[in-house]
Amino acid sequence: MDATVDCWKILDLPARSDERSVKRQYAKLLKVTRPDEDPVAFQRLREAYERALRLARDGDDGVGGDASFVQTSAAPLVQRPAPVTQPVVPSAQEQAAELLETFDDDAVDQCWNEAIALGIESTVETLLFMRCVQAPEAHPHLLHWGLETRQWLTPWQQIRPREADQERLGHLLSIGLYRRLEQYMTAGEETRFIGCLEHHSRQGWLGDLARRQTLHVQVLDLFLEHKHWSPALFQRIRQLFAWDTESAVVPIVDEQWHALLARCEEKKWVDELRARVREGEGEEHPNPRANAAALFLTGSAAERLQARVATFTEADWQACEQLSEDFTKRFPDWARRFPDHNPWFWKALVGPESPPHVTQRAGIVLTITLALNGILDVPAPLLLLAVMSPLILVTGLLLTYMGKKLYEHWVRFTEYFYEEDQRFSAWCARHTLTRNRRYLVIRNGVPVLALAFVLWKWLGLLGVATYVITGLIGRLQPKSAVPVDRQYRWRKPLQAIYRIAGLSRLQWLFCIVMVSVIAYVQMDMPGTQLTRGT
């Protein structure tokens, strides 16, 4: 009787408790009485549990004694021995089910230690495996424990579940991993993407060839479906899956793999251009390479392209030319990125540039030539020049107007060989023969030669020399020497004359000196070849 009362006291239960209450209380006390911490107390708890369980099943609360009875009649001649009641021990399946009734996903290790103490760890692990098969998202800690500690879905796992259950859990794991990777890829979280992939790649369940191949295909699908990923991420994936060698076997068709490689190279090239643009952002005058890179990244809007090239110099155009050549050699199939699918699209933006002050200069040259050629041969030339100056001015203006019309027809004619003119002008600009490829040498050079021929016919070698040297002075002088082209102030006639033809002070001075020399030679040595063409 003492042992009976003691079992209820140890379990902290009232006598006559039912079997279910005994089991619940025992599972509750197991959480505070651990076999590795106090084996003696655990043994007492176990014995009390077994004693109480037998009493609950037999319907005896143990308070009425040791099954003795009072005889109400004469004792029989032969007394039969009392039947021996064998203790009923619950099966491992029952104990495991009872243990998992209060399972907590955050206390997997504690539950596992209790299973070890009861000697039912194999049964408990099988039931835990089935829980993950049914709902892996509901038991993240349990799933991590099973994969990392118990080596589930590997040849080293201790349990042997059904093949269908293993396949289902592997499939659910693959789907869950793909969803996380897709989430990271969509959000642009490349660090978390590669971290998640590297972590799971080290897990044993992906040692299976079929599952690993599935993961490879899923990752490749993510790269094919999404556009916003960096070449650095793709390179790390290639290294992780050993795809960075020539003998690598990639589980997609060759066309898709080569398309991915091409996209990666394109992204690298675009990143290089963006790096160039960033280098020039802090500079007051960006270098030509930065300007060219910015132009290639501008897009296809014509207004934006024209605004970008408004301040381009020859160095900028040469940088564009080099960039187009590199692109054509490295990426011959990627012309779709550029306007009109043409990597040389910027050539259409160069546009012809007509030299300023052409009409004014031509009018001045023709007027002076008429005056020197027609007046100095007669007696009293200065007097006649004063009288005839209005007529000379009108004639010079008419000749200038005729020359302007002829130049317009010439411009329309040069459209037939515009590309050849552009190539020749670019060659001259690269060799510093001209300052800018916008200056079309053939279109603008032929009228210049025609005017030089007129000067040679009317004023001879001195006239041509004056014309050529004046142009060379303008070509060699610094830009600061050229007068600013702005509104004339006619109240200051000298300033207006100085700016009207866009000539510098040195050019005006040289022209005045040479006109005086030509006039002197014509008066002193009439008919000389210096002032008369053949």
In a domain, 258, yes or no: no
Same domain for 281 and 389, yes or no, is no
pTM across the whole model: 0.55
In a domain, 277, yes or no: yes
The model's confidence at residue 222, banded by pLDDT at 50, 70 and 90, is very high
In a domain, 75, yes or no: no
In a domain, 529, yes or no: no
Domain boundary, last residue among 188, 214, 248:
248
Same domain for 189 and 271, yes or no, is no
Angle between helices 121-134 and 108-118 (to 10 degrees): 140
Residue-level pLDDT at 197: 92
Q: Which of 309, 243, 234, 242 is nearest to 266 (CA)?
A: 234
Which tokens is 464 given?
Answer: 């041509």
Same domain for 191 and 286, yes or no, is no
Instruction: Render 378-398 in DSSP notation, one character per residue.
Output: SSSHHHHHHHHHHHHHHHHHH
Number of H helices, E strands in the chain: 22, 0
Cα(321)–Cα(341) distance, integer angstroms: 16
Distances, alpha carbon 29 to alpha carbons 16, 89, 92, 255, in Å: 19, 19, 19, 65
In a domain, 78, yes or no: no
Cα(304)–Cα(222) distance, integer angstroms: 34
Cα(298)–Cα(310) distance, integer angstroms: 14
In a domain, 214, yes or no: yes
Q: Which of 98, 190, 112, 114 is nearest to 148 (CA)?
A: 112
Nearest 10 degrees: CA dihedral of 504, 510, 513, 518? -120
Same domain for 204 and 133, yes or no, is no
Cα(426)–Cα(435) distance, integer angstroms: 10
Same domain for 52 and 106, yes or no, is yes
| Domains identified in the chain, total number | 4
Residue-level pLDDT at 72: 37
Same domain for 363 and 451, yes or no, is yes
The model's confidence at residue 386, banded by pLDDT at 50, 70 and 90, is low
Same domain for 298 and 341, yes or no, is yes
Range of the domain at 52: 2-65+89-148
Q: pLDDT digit string (tens) for 177-215?
A: 999 999 999 999 999 999 999 999 888 888 888 899 899
Mean pLDDT of all residues in 420-440: 83
Same domain for 362 and 475, yes or no, is yes
Rg for the chain (alpha carbons), in Å? 51
Same domain for 402 and 496, yes or no, is yes
Q: Which of 512, 511, 506, 500 is nearest to 481 (CA)?
A: 506
Q: pLDDT digit string (tens) for 310-367?
A: 778 888 888 888 888 887 877 776 666 666 667 777 777 787 777 777 777 788 788 8
In a domain, 61, yes or no: yes
Residue-level pLDDT at 335: 62
User: At 61, phi and psi to the nearest 5?
Assistant: -85, -5
Q: Say what percent of the chain tops pLDDT 90.
A: 10
- Residue 147: in which H helix or E strand, if any? helix 140-148
Cα(470)–Cα(291) distance, integer angstroms: 34
Same domain for 134 and 195, yes or no, is no
Average pLDDT of the chain to the nearest whole number = 79
Domain boundary, last residue among 307, 328, 350:
350
Q: Which residues contact 457 (CB under 8 A, 6 or more apart)?
A: 533
Cα(119)–Cα(214) distance, integer angstroms: 38
Q: Residue 441 in contact with residue 434, Cβ under 8 Å? A: yes
Same domain for 17 and 34, yes or no, is yes
In a domain, 72, yes or no: no
Domain boundary, last residue among 220, 248, 276:
248
Same domain for 328 and 439, yes or no, is no
Cα(529)–Cα(462) distance, integer angstroms: 9
